Amino acid sequence: MPAAWGRVVRASCVLTPAQKLVWDEYRLLDQGEGAWVTANGLSVRLGIRDRSIERIRDELRGFGLLITEGRAPRVRYMVRLPGDCVPSHRPRDEEVRTLARMLDRILTGTVPETSPHQEEDDELPWSGGAPVRTGE
């Protein structure tokens, strides 16, 4: 899948860093026919525990960002992006930001209150992409 897809996913404020890393590794391994790597294989490549890889895969499937075909041990994984979030071949930063916001809306049905793309002195810390208010 095109590298530009990875830019949109990495710019998401909803997906966790681990979800982005696993999705992007599948994107890199998918040369048009899917990726055939096991949870253990991905665990070795990324330094993430097998059970965490399995949980993250389930989360990505729930978001519709990862499709599986077949049954163990011959499972093929393919990354996906919603059609409204597919970037041009060489997107500029503004296109990536716009598409990432669209992806976030699709994944959550809402728009995050704040974004890491805003001022660096935001007072809302981020946890898993969701804004978390601290005691005020």
Domain of 20 in residue numbering reads as 3-109
Rounded to whole angstroms, how far apart are CA atoms 115 and 104?
11
Q: Are strands 66-69 and 76-79 parallel, antiparallel or unpaired?
A: antiparallel
In a domain, 117, yes or no: no
121 domain-assigned: no
The pLDDT assigned to 32 comes to: 83
CATH for 60: 1.10.10.10
How far apart are the C-alpha atoms of 126 and 117, rounded to whole Å? 12
Question: How many domains are contained in the chain?
Answer: 1
pTM, two decimals, is 0.78
Indicate whether 128 belongs to any domain: no
Per residue in 26-58, pLDDT tens?
Answer: 999 988 889 999 999 999 999 999 999 999 999
Per-residue pLDDT of the chain (136 residues; tens, 9 = 90+): 789 999 999 999 999 999 999 999 999 998 888 999 999 999 999 999 999 999 999 999 999 999 999 887 789 999 999 999 999 999 999 999 999 999 999 999 874 444 544 433 333 333 344 433 334 3
Within a domain: residue 105? Answer: yes
> Hey, what are 129's tokens?
């992409």
Do 10 and 3 touch, CB atoms closer than 8 A?
no
